[in-house]
């Protein structure tokens, strides 16, 4: 409710109120006038947002890549760095609004490393954990989660909560190291994500 009121106040009241610092011009008129003269600077891409505002901490790097909240990240460049430098841990930046990729630092360079599951591009960490929880609740005794079922749950959650998630876009979420460790221990401990095998048609065409 606070976010809704804040956005409506900024958009409907502040932007349309004459501003002393603009010589009596309203912010919206100043924006329209100046954007025609100078254009509009595009917003930063996901990688830049992650580098500027992402969570940074060290993670263990091994031959399987890096795993955060049950999501595995891997790239050829990262494995080359592992074989050459043999680091125990590397600095990682990840953004809870998009777990489809992370930034990993080797030397002085930050490199983009995608999730092995490409369907996670643009998916928020909270949506991912909620989807995992839904699928796990449906079969609490199993320690193997079907990736297809998790993806379907993500799609359903995003469709149902799109407006609510957009309204909560300014809200601050806790993604501290303590919170991540808690989620991994409580929800993801011992869980293995598996791809569903595709059915193959037999040669006689009967099945």
| Structure confidence by residue, pLDDT tens digits, 51-86 | 999 989 999 888 889 999 889 999 998 888 888 888
DSSP-derived pairing of the beta strands 192-194 and 144-146:
parallel
Whether pLDDT at 145 is above 70: yes
User: Who wins on pLDDT, 32 or 11?
Assistant: 32
> What is the helix (H) or strand (E) element at residue 2, kind and residue range?
helix 2-8
Contacts of residue 131, Cβ cutoff 8 Å, sequence gap at least 6: 150, 151, 153, 154, 157
User: Who wins on pLDDT, 61 or 144?
Assistant: 61
Give the start-end residues of each E strand in the chain.
55-60, 66-68, 71-73, 89-95, 98-106, 109-114, 144-146, 192-194
User: Who wins on pLDDT, 21 or 198?
Assistant: 21
Q: 188 by DSSP, 3-state: which?
A: coil
Cα–Cα distance measured from residue 48 to residue 45, given in angstroms and rounded to the nearest whole number: 5
């Amino acid at each position: 409710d606070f976010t809704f009121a804040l956005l409506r106040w900024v958009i409907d009241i502040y932007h349309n109120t004459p501003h002393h610092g603009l010589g009596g011009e309203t912010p919206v008129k100043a924006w329209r006038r100046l954007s025609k003269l100078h254009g509009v600077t595009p917003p930063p891409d996901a990688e830049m947002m992650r580098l500027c505002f992402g969570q940074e901490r060290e993670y263990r790097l091994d031959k399987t890549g890096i795993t955060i909240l049950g999501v595995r990240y891997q790239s050829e460049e990262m494995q080359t760095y592992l074989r050459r430098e043999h680091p125990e841990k590397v600095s990682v930046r990840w953004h809870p609004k998009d777990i489809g990729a992370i930034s990993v630092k080797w030397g002085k360079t930050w490199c983009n490393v995608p999730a092995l599951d490409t369907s996670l591009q643009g998916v928020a960490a909270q949506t991912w954990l909620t989807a995992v929880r839904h699928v796990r609740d449906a079969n609490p005794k199993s320690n193997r989660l079907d990736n297809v079922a998790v993806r379907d749950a993500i799609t359903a959650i995003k469709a149902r909560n799109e407006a609510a998630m957009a309204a909560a876009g300014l809200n601050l979420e806790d993604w501290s190291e303590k919170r991540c460790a808690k989620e991994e221990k409580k929800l993801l401990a011992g869980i293995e994500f598996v791809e569903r095998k595709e059915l193959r048609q037999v040669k006689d065409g009967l099945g």
